[in-house]
Structure 1
Amino acid sequence: MPPRIRPRRALSAYLVAAALLAAGVTVAAPAPAVRAAVPDTVPLTIRNDSGRADQVYVYIIGTELSTGRQGWADASGTFHPWPAGGNPPTPAPDASIAGPANGRTLTIRMPKFSGRVYFSYGRKLVFKLTTGGLVQPAVQNPADPNRDILFNWSEYTLNDAGLWINSTQVDMFSVPYAVGVKRADGTTASTGRLRPGGYRGFFSALRAQPGGWSNLVQTRSDGTVLRALAPGHGIAAGSLSAGVLDDYIDRVWSKYASSTLTVTPFAHQPHIRYHGRVSGGVMNFTDGSGQVVTSFRKPDSDSVLGCHKHLDAPNDAVRGPLSRTLCAGFNRSTLLTNPQQPDTGPAGFYQDAVTNHYARHIHARTADGKAYAFAFDDVGAHESLVHDARPQNAYLTLDPLD
């Protein structure tokens, strides 16, 4: 599956190849027949079922895969590179597309990008350009100009191997939407939809969660609920304790000082196993010959919630897959109950009192149980993603805020 484009996170923006390499899978160039089956643009049909009267604005931004240039696409799918930015940042060109009114649809074109489809209600988003490129919304910063705008985004990659499109809550949980793709045989796959009452239910559950989790919720001065920050952003913003998961992390490190954690990172290669033991405060992983292949310092809560820092995951065949597995196990609190990882059975997820409650409450309210509530929620295929090698149409449905 493709990785996600995440500010502050270490994954490559080239979604498909990076994820496959991290899983130890050889990436072959698509056959000419496959390349011919994926056109330069694919239609994206946006349906507005939000029930809101606000004007919707849509943006397609990202990296043009044929050139590596960053830019935006208009409604026809034509690429426009960003102009040079400045310091301080300068306003970006208006890349907005007027979206459909409530109850209506609009079809535009998606180009071969690794990027995002943003949508906002009532106000246009503010994008700026620095000398290093585009500055995207970062609402964990109270001074961000988009802080009081109701908005969200989907991530996608369209390349010669097909279309990957997902819903994501890696950075925040906000206005609900679903994504889908129409296949060559006429069938449609979709994901991302919440259960009835799931949107309001999530915020109610998070506000009732002891331990400061309610502080992740952001509202506008008029009382409008805008979003909940992902807990890693909450730590950075000072709204969630930096030690929120430390008790669980300490217990894991203590357990594996006297027992072994076995990781089988590739389901299609069950003979590849690594064995982790904690010594001197460091978890060392050995291969079948007993050689140490990589080591992890005890992570802090932010490393776990962001799947970075002490749980860095390079695009290699050893450390990256091990880090992904540890990250998933910590966030889902399965490392104490199952020494054979990854644990892919959702019945055992989030059962410890110290866990990623943000992710727990999101997954409990999605119609298919799928979500990207943290960076490596795809471990065990629990991610909200659809893919097709010969996409006929992509879909983005703006759902009610109920």
Structure 2
Amino acid sequence: MHHKLTRRLTAPTAAAALIAAVIAIQAPSSAKAAVPDTIPLQVTNNSGRGDAVYVYTIGTLLSTGQQGWADANGTFHAWPAGGNPPTPAPDASIAGPAAGRSKTIRIPKFSGRIYFSYGQKLVFKLTTGGLVQPAVQNPSDPNHDILFNWSEYTLNDSGLWLNSTQVDMFSAPYAVGVKGADGNTATTGHLKSGGYNGVLNDLRGKPGGWAGLIQTRSDGTVLRALAPGHGLESGALPASVMDDYVNRVWQKYASSTLTVTPFGDHPDTKYYGKVAGGVMNFTDGSGNVVTTFQKPDADSVFGCHKLLDAPNDRVRGPISRTLCAGFNRSTLLVDPNQPDTSSANFYQDTVTNQYARAIHAQMADGKAYAFAFDDVGNHESLVHDGSPQQADLTLDPSN
């Protein structure tokens, strides 16, 4: 849903690229007149915080491919040229609503993000290659000590796709919604009562480095829990954190077959995985090898990249995203037919993505984007409408 501006955006871009691919497939040409150039976004502040709120709409203008930002009226502003070292970006902030209030702005046909921050404006800079977005896994990032979060969205001629995401971090809670032409609003992203602290306490109680994902400001404020891929980078999680599970998967499918049916609407398209010589080879129904996977490490699993790269094609990408979901949810040993789309089997192994498990357990509707391909089996926190009348962003309390 947004351009890969720096390496730090690899994981969310993977999820976004998938949504973009789905959008392209679903795009009916007759819808063009139905979606205006901008739609209202109502921001409601139910956080209970007294801090000032700042809102940003940042992304790629779909009509031109330009990167930039939108003001409160939805008017697009292209970023000026950046520098090396990076130069400060123009102030794209919009004053958000006070606690207990709502404010309506407009958002344009973007593929991008809606950021919000508490107490301080975010620091955005521009390089010669474009915008540098916050990278909180970097302790020296100027936004490290700011409480903030973001939603991802695409608004195009076919409608609105709006999600809540924890692909990079779990932080200041919020929910997203869209009101359709029928007047009904679909909503996702709300935590259960006590769910914010529930996730944090769950991670604190897990041995092996999971508590090290939590970052706290010097005044004691919990800022976020980093996604486990970033925890590997920072050293909070050991590089071997998934090895035991991966080794067991490789052992199992050396003597049995993993069947992947990647497209729910094409149940006859199946691929068959078998480990030989240390690699998992996938064959089609005729026995031809269509793609091969090296044994993945934890970084490949958590990021759904590197050894589990998922190109936007019809073979390797769909198989890889299915594998990635199976590794994160630890369903590959209990079900040789993937994807396993029923959450009953998810996160049951002692070796699993404990971050994703904790977040899903505390979501009111069970849905989240806790890793890039959390949409396998439709477990992602996404709302969509082909004729959106209004988008909603609700800032929730951190309790």
Normalised-by-shorter TM-score class = over 0.9
Q: Would you say the 8 A contact 1:306–1:374 is kept in 2?
A: yes
Matched, 1:168 2:171: no
Match of 1:279 in 2: 276
Tell me, yes or no, if the aligned pair for 1:155 and 1:165 is still in contact at 8 Å.
yes
Following superposition, the deviation at residue 237 of structure 1 comes to 1.4
SS in 2 for 1:166: strand
Provide the residue aligned with 1:8 in structure 2.
Answer: 10
Aligned letter for 1:338? D
- Give CA deviations for 1:143-191 in whole Å, capped at 9, x if unaligned: 0000000000000000001000000000000010000000000111000
Task: Give the letter aligned to residue 311 of structure 1.
Answer: L
Residues 20/298 of structure 1: CA separation in 2 closer, same or farther (3 Å cut): farther
> Match of 1:24?
none
The CA deviation string for residues 226-274 of structure 1, in whole angstroms up to 9 with x for no partner, is: 0000000110111111111110001000110010000001111111100
- Within 5 Å, which residues of 2 pair with 1:372-387? 372-387=369-384
- Structure 2: which amino acid aligns with 1:37? A
Q: 2:82 aligns with which of 66, 82, 85?
A: 85
Cα distance in 1 between the residues matched to 2:106 and 2:245: 46
- Segments of structure 2 that go 5 or more residues without pairing to the other structure are none
Output the amino acid matched with 1:215.
G
State the match for 1:339 in structure 2.
336
State the partner residue of 2:288. 291
Amino acid at match of 2:54: Y
Over the matched positions of the two proteins, sequence identity in percent amounts to: 73
Normalising to structure 2: TM-score of the pair? 0.97
SS of 1:7's equivalent?
Answer: helix
AA at the equivalent of 1:121:
Y
Task: Letter of the 1:136 partner, please give it.
Answer: Q
Normalised TM-score (structure 1): 0.96
Q: In 2, Cα distance between the equivalents of 1:50 and 1:164?
A: 24
Q: 3-state DSSP class of the match of 1:139?
A: coil
Q: Secondary structure at the match of 1:251?
A: helix
1:173-192 alignment, distance < 5 Å:
173-192=170-189
Structure ranking higher in helix proportion: 2
**AA in 1 matched with 2:38:** T
User: 2:372 & 2:64 partners in 1: Cα distance?
Assistant: 27
How far apart, CA to CA, are the structure 2 residues paired with 1:372 and 1:295?
Answer: 27
Coordinate RMSD, CA, aligned: 1.5
Q: What is the aligned partner in structure 1 of residue 233 from structure 2?
A: 236
What runs of 5+ residues in structure 1 fail to find an aligned partner?
Answer: 22-26
Query: 2: distance between equivalents of 1:56 and 1:145?
Result: 18
In the alignment, which residue of structure 1 is the partner of 2:101?
104
Is the 1:137–1:144 contact (alpha carbons within 8 Å) kept by the matching residues of 2? yes
1:253 and 2:250 equivalent?
yes
Q: CA deviation at 1:3?
A: 9.0
Count of residue pairs brought into register by the alignment: 395
Counterpart AA for 1:11: A
How many angstroms does 1:15 deviate by? 5.9
Matched residue, 2:55: 58
**Counterpart of 1:382 in 2: which secondary structure?**
coil
Shift of 1:19: 3.8
Q: Is the 1:3–1:16 contact (alpha carbons within 8 Å) kept by the matching residues of 2?
A: no
Runs of 4+ aligned residues of structure 1 deviating over 3 Å after TM superposition are 2-6, 9-17
Residue 48 to residue 29, structure 1, CA distance change in 2 (3 Å): closer
Cα distance in structure 1, aligned partners of 2:233 and 2:19: 29
Mapping of 1:60-209 within 5 angstroms? 60-209=57-206
Q: For residues 185-218 of structure 1, give each alpha carbon's deviation from its aligned partner in whole angstroms, at most 9, with x where no partner exists.
A: 0111000000000001110111111111000000
Residue by residue over 1:52-78, the C-alpha shift from the partner in whole angstroms, topping out at 9 and shown as x without a partner, is: 000000000000000000000000000
Q: Residue in 1 aligned with 2:21? A: 18
The question of whether the paired residues in 1 share the 8 Å contact of 2:301 and 2:327 is answered with yes
Out of 266, 271, 276, the residue aligned to residue 269 of structure 1 is 266
Distance change (3 Å), C-alpha of 1:379 and 1:158: same
Matched residue SS, 1:329: helix
Match of 1:304 in 2: 301
Call closer, same or farther: CA 1:15–1:273 in 2, change over 3 Å: closer
Deviation at 1:17, TM superposition (A): 3.9
Which secondary structure does the structure 2 equivalent of 1:358 belong to?
A: helix
* CA distance in structure 2 between the aligned counterparts of 1:198 and 1:306, rounded to whole angstroms: 24
Aligned partners of 1:307 and 1:375 also within 8 Å: yes
DSSP 3-state at the match of 2:199:
helix
CA deviation vs aligned residue, 1:82-131 (integer Å, no higher than 9, x gap): 00000000000000000000000000001000000000000000000000
Question: In structure 1, what is the equivalent of residue 321 of structure 2?
Answer: 324
Mapped to 1, the partners of 2:267 and 2:334 lie a distance apart of 21
Aligned counterpart, 1:398? 395
Where 2:318 maps in the other structure, the secondary structure is helix
Residue in 2 that maps onto 1:368: 365
Shift of residue 4, structure 1, vs aligned partner? 10
For residues 367 and 2 of structure 2, the distance between their equivalents in structure 1, rounded to whole angstroms, comes to: 15
2:29 counterpart of 1:31: yes
Aligned to 1:44: 41
Secondary structure class of the residue paired with 2:254? coil
For 1:18, give the aligned amino acid. Answer: A
Report the Cα distance in structure 1 between the residues aligned to 2:322 and 2:149, rounded to whole angstroms. Answer: 28
